[in-house]
Chains A and B, each alone.
Chain A
Amino acid sequence: MTTTPTRTVPPYRSVLHPARAGFVHLLRAEWTKFWTVRAWLLVLAVAAVVTVVICQLGASGSSVSGGPPIVLGPGGEVVNDAFRLTHRTLTGDGTVTARVTGLKDASGKGLGPWTKAGIIVKSSLKPGSPYAAVMATPGHGVRMQWNFTHDKAGPSSDLTKAPQWLRLKRLGEKLTGYASVDGQNWTRLGEVRLDGLPGTVQVGLFVAAPVHEIVHRSFGGTSEVAGSGQATGTFDHLTFQGKSTDNGWTATDVGAPAPDARPGNSRPGTTTVSPTGTYALTGQGDIAPDENSPDMVQMSFQGVFMGLLFMVALGTLFVTTEYKRGLIRTTFTATPSRLKVLAAKTTVIATITFTTGLIATAIGFTLAQRTLRSNGFKPPEFPDLSLLENPALRAVVGSAVLLSLVAVLALSLGVVLRNSAGTIATVVVLVILPQILSFALPLPVAQWLLRATPAAAFAIQQGVTYYPQVQHNCLPESGCYPLTPYHGLAVLVAYTAAALLLAAWTVRRRDA
C-alpha cells in the first residue's frame, strides 16, 4: 500500500532580490535609459568633437609676434621692473631710513593710486632681480612689497597732509620694513626672507609711476586713455647705516627702455638734491607683475561654449522626453520615491557629462597648446603648461565641472517646466546671454552681469592671476572676469543647487 505524500505548495515569493529597490539599481535603470538612446550617445560624441575642434580653431587663430623684450621675476613670471632709483651698495647688514614728504604728478595726466615712493633693497640693478621695498602710495597707504607678487598693507597714510617715515633694515637674508609718522615710534610692517640675497646689494630711494588708464566704453568699441604716468617723489632725512663701497648716492633709471623704443613713450627720470638734503626723484614705470600678456590657458577653451549647448540639450531631454512620452509614470510606479529618481537622474547625467567634458577639455587643451606653441607662444614669456598643474588643471577640470553643472541645471529646470523647448532656451539664455551683453553694456553693468549670473563660472578658465597690487581694468572683451576662478564657479553651483531644490519640491508636489 502506498501513500501519496501530501505536497505543500509554498506561497509565491518574488524572485527579485530585495536590493532591487536600492539606489544602485535605480542608477543602473537610469543609466540604461541613457545609453540605449542612440541619438543621445551621438549628441555626446558630437559635443566632445565640436568642443575639441572649436578649441583648436580658436587657438589657430591666435598668434603673437615679437613685442618688446620681456623681464622675468624671481618666480618666473613676467614682470614690469622700471623705476627711478637713487642708490648705493650695501655690504653686509645695514639700515636705510628716509622721510617721504610728497608725491606729485609730473605728467599732468593724474596720479595713479599705485604710484610708489619709498626705500628699496635690491640684489642688483638688473631688471627682474629679487627685491624688498617699503613705500608710500597715494591710494593704498603704506605698503611693504617684495619679489613683485607679494604685497602687505601697512598703516594708512596721506602724503598731502603729513609726511611718512619709512625704514628698511637688512640682516643677512632677512629684510624688515618699518613705518612711522614722527620718526620716533616705529611700527613693524613685515619681515621677509629673500633666499640667495648676495652679500653686496643695492639700497636706495625709488619712485615708480605705473601707467594710469581710464577706460571709455561705448557701443562699437572701448577706448583706453593711458596716462603715461610720471611722478615726483620728495624725500628728506635720508640716513644710511652700514658698509658701502660707494662714497655717495648715484642716480639710475632701472629697466630704462631700449634707445629704439617708440618716442614719447618714455622720458628719462631725474634726481635733484638740494643743499638741505631734500631728494626729488622723478620717474615712471612700475615694480609689479605684468598682467597684460595674453592668457594662454583661457585661449584654449573657446570650444566649451559650443559643447555647453549640447550638454544643455542632453540634460533637458533626459527628463522632458519621459514627460512627453509618459514614461515618467512607469518610472514613478517602479520607484515611488520621487526624490530618489531625481537623485539617480542627476547622478547619471552629471557623471556622463563630466566624463565626456573632461575628455574633451583635456584633449582640446593639449591640442590647442601645441597649436599656440607653433603660433609663437613660446617660453620664457609663455612657459609650458603642464596638464597636471594649476592653472591648467583647474581650467580643464573646472570646465568639465561647468559642463556637468549646466547639464544638471537643465535637468532640474526640465523637471520644473516639463517642456524641452522652454528649458533649453531658458538655460542657454541664462548662461550665455550675460556674456554677450557684457561685451556691449556700460562697464559697471557688464561686470555686475558677470558676477551675478551663471556666466560667472567661465572665470574658472582664467589662467592669469590678477594681483590686487596692480591697478587693472577688468574688460570682459579681453577675457577678464571680475570674480576669482573658484568664486565664479561657486555662483553656478549656487544656481544649480537652487534649481535642484526647486525641482525636488515640484516633483514631490505635483502629479506626474
Chain B
Amino acid sequence: MRQLHAEWTKLRTLPSTWWLLAATVALTAAVGAAAVSSLTTRICPSPTACHEDTVKLALTGVQLSQAICLVLGALSIGAEYATGTIRTTLTAMPGRWRVLASKAATLSLLTAVAGALAVLSSLGLAHLILPTTPTNSATLRAAAGSILILVLVTLLGLSLATLLRDTAGAITLGLGILYVVPVLSHLVNSPTWQHRFQRWAPMPAGLSIQATTNLERLAIGPWPGLGVLAAYAVGLLGVGGAWFRLRDA
C-alpha cells in the first residue's frame, strides 16, 4: 500500500502527467469530432447504403492519444532513470517487482479514468453531430475496448522504458509498434503478409476492438485482437520486470 501511495505521489506531483492526461482527453475528442463531421453521404449512392462504422469513426482519436499514453508510460520510469531518482526509489523500496507493479497500477488507474473521459466525450460529440449513432452492446464493447487500448499502451510504454532504461529509445520503439507496423501492414503488397500483420502485430490487431459492423471482414475478432495487444503489453512488462530484478539500477 505504501508503494502505491509513493508512486501516486510521484505521478501526481509531476505537472507533465496532468498535461498529458488533459491532452489525451482533449485530442481524442477533437480528432473524433473532426472525423465524424467529415462524414458525408455524398460518397454513397444513398444514405441507407452508407455502411460507415460511425462508432469506430468517433473513436478515431484513440489512434492519436495512444501516442500520449505511450509517452506517459515511458516517462514514469524513464525520467527516474534520467535523473537518478530510481536509486532513491529502490533504496526506499527494495522490492523491485512491487515498485514496478505499483507503478503499473497507478498508471493504469489514471489512464483508465482519462481514457473513459476521452471515450465518453468522443461518443457524446459524435451523438451531437450524427444523431443516428447507435448505442448497443457493440458500441459498449468498442468504448470499453478503446479505454483498455489506452491503458495497455501506457503499460507498453512503461515496460519498454524499463527494458531500455531510456525514455527516448522506449518512445521511438513504441511509436514504431504503434504507427510504423500498421502502415506496413497496409502497404505490403502480399495478402498473406497483410493478414499476418493484422492478426499478430499488436496495433492493427488491438484496434479491431473498435469495429462494430462488418465484423466478418476483420482479420481477427474484436476481443482476440485486444488480447494480442494485451499479450504484448503484459508479456513485455514481465520481461521488463525480470530485467529490472536482475540488473543494477
Residues in A lying within 8 Å of B, measured CB to CB: 54, 57-58, 61-63, 214-221, 294, 299, 302, 305-306, 308-310, 312-313, 316-317, 320, 324, 420-422, 424-425, 428-429, 432-433, 435-437, 439-445, 477, 479
Contact = CB atoms under 8 A, between A and B. Distances in A.
Nearest to A303: B184
Given A61-B190, A218-B52, A442 B176 contact: no
B150 to A, nearest CB: 14
Contacts of B74: 421
B68 interface: yes
Instruction: Classify chain B's interface size.
Output: 35 or more
Given A312-B172, A429-B64, A305 B183 contact: yes
Given A219-B213, A436-B182, A421 B52 contact: no
17 contacts: A58-B188, A61-B189, A305-B183, A306-B184, A309-B172, A309-B176, A313-B172, A324-B82, A421-B171, A424-B172, A424-B175, A425-B67, A425-B175, A429-B179, A436-B182, A441-B38, A442-B40
Contacts of B187: 58, 302, 477, 479
B189 A220 contact: no
Contacts of A320: 168
Nearest to B38: A445
A432 B60 contact: no
Chain B interface SS verdict (over half): helix
Contacts of B88: none
Contacts of B184: 54, 58, 302, 305-306
A444 B43 contact: yes
Interface of B: 35, 38-40, 43-45, 49-53, 56-57, 60, 63-64, 67-68, 70-71, 74-75, 78, 82, 167-169, 171-172, 175-176, 179-180, 182-184, 186-190, 192-193, 211, 213-214, 217-218
A369 B123 CA distance: 47
B43 A221 contact: no
Nearest to A64: B189
A220 B176 contact: no
Chain A interface SS verdict (over half): helix
A294 B168 contact: no
A61 B64 CA distance: 29
Nearest to B44: A216
B53 A420 contact: no
Contacts of B167: 420-421
A424 B168 contact: yes
Contacts of B193: 57, 61
Nearest to A294: B189
Contacts of B71: 421-422, 425
A313 B57 contact: no
B78 to A, nearest CB: 7
A305 B177 CA distance: 12
A436 B175 contact: no
Most B CB contacts (10 A, CB to CB) among A219, A432, A444 go to A219
Nearest to A312: B172
A221 to B, nearest CB: 6
Given A58-B188, A61-B189, A441 B60 contact: yes
Contacts of B75: 421
A309 B180 CA distance: 8
Nearest to A299: B189
Contacts of B186: 436, 439, 477
Contacts of A62: 188-190
> What 3 A-B pairs are tightest by C-beta distance, nearest first?
A61-B190, A62-B189, A219-B53
Given A220-B211, A432-B183, 17 more contacts: A61-B190, A216-B43, A219-B56, A221-B217, A302-B188, A305-B184, A306-B176, A308-B180, A313-B169, A324-B82, A421-B75, A425-B70, A425-B175, A436-B63, A436-B186, A437-B35, A445-B35
A23 B214 CA distance: 61
Contacts of B35: 437, 441, 445
Given A62-B190, A299-B189, A441-B38, A432 B180 contact: yes
A434 to B, nearest CB: 10
A216 B46 CA distance: 11
A372 to B, nearest CB: 10
A428 B175 contact: yes
A218 B193 CA distance: 22
